[in-house]
Amino acid sequence: MESWEFWVAVAIIFVGAGIVKGVVGMGLPTIAMGLLALKMPPLEAATLLLIPSFVTNAWQLATGPSLRNLWRRMWPMLTAIVVVTLASAGLIVGGHAHIAQAALGLSLAIYATLGLLKIHFKVPPAHEPWIGAFMGAATGVVTGATGINVIPAVPYLQSLDLERDDLIQALGLSFTVSTMAMAAGLLHRGVFTHSTWLLGASLFALVAGFIGMFIGQYLRERMSLETFRRIFQIGLLVLGTYLALEGFAHM
């Protein structure tokens, strides 16, 4: 995994994923995890993603306008994410790599399908605490099993009718908390003691991701956001379907 081909692949994957995040405001961990899973087991991919995911999402979180209000509104969801991710992180650590790959592929495919169909839900404010806790728990299970923290967190947050800047910050808050919980779960299970080289690779991936983000921010001013988003979702659907079929075929 430490050959020059590996480093080139990581650079290309994270620059590409960073471009997506720079254009649409999200998607770096999602697309990077899917592409990395083509070259390594999901556990190693999730470990490699920790630093780039945390730093880019914490940055997105810090630049928003309403952190205190969002925390008050989202704490049931965030608490459930932490508790369930810590409890379920062992799912990706176990020896069932093909199950994790299939679950990852299904998560990506579902996420892309919801985006392509433009399916939106609306949650009444009075029901946010218990629905948010349920969605947080479901997100924790998916995160612990696949390393992907977008399902069902993103559709749920989109259902809250937040202003654009608030939604971007809410996504950053959810992703940051999920990443921290996943890192704690993997640390508790001793993953880093066996994969210390991946932490160095994660720092390298962070640099590549930021380069991609700056390119994406430049492109965002010069292209159709809706067209780019649709291409991104179609690509994610194809990638997710392929990963799911490969995972099921080897189970």
Question: How confident is the prediction along the chain (251 residues), in pLDDT tens digits per residue?
Answer: 567 788 999 999 999 988 888 877 777 888 888 888 888 888 888 888 989 989 988 887 887 778 889 999 999 999 999 999 999 887 777 656 677 778 888 888 888 898 888 777 788 888 999 999 999 999 999 898 888 888 889 889 988 988 878 888 898 899 999 999 999 998 887 776 656 677 778 889 999 999 998 898 888 777 777 787 788 888 888 888 988 888 787 66
Cα dist. 143→65, 91, 132, 195, 227 in Å?
27, 9, 16, 19, 28
| Beta carbons within 8 Å of 110's beta carbon, 6+ residues apart | 151, 240
d(Cα 101, Cα 234) in Å, to the nearest integer? 19
d(Cα 233, Cα 226) in Å, to the nearest integer? 11
Name the amino acid, one letter, at 248. F
Name the amino acid, one letter, at 130. W
DSSP class of residue 5 equals H
pLDDT for 97: 65
SS3 37: coil
The domain limits of the chain are 4-249
Query: Angle at the Cα of 20 (from 15 to 21), degrees rounded to 5?
Result: 95
Name the amino acid, one letter, at 97. A
Helix ranges, 63-163 (H):
67-88, 90-93, 97-117, 128-146, 153-158
pLDDT for 120: 75
What pTM did the predictor assign?
A: 0.84
Answer whether 90's CB lies under 8 Å from 185's CB: yes
pLDDT for 63: 75
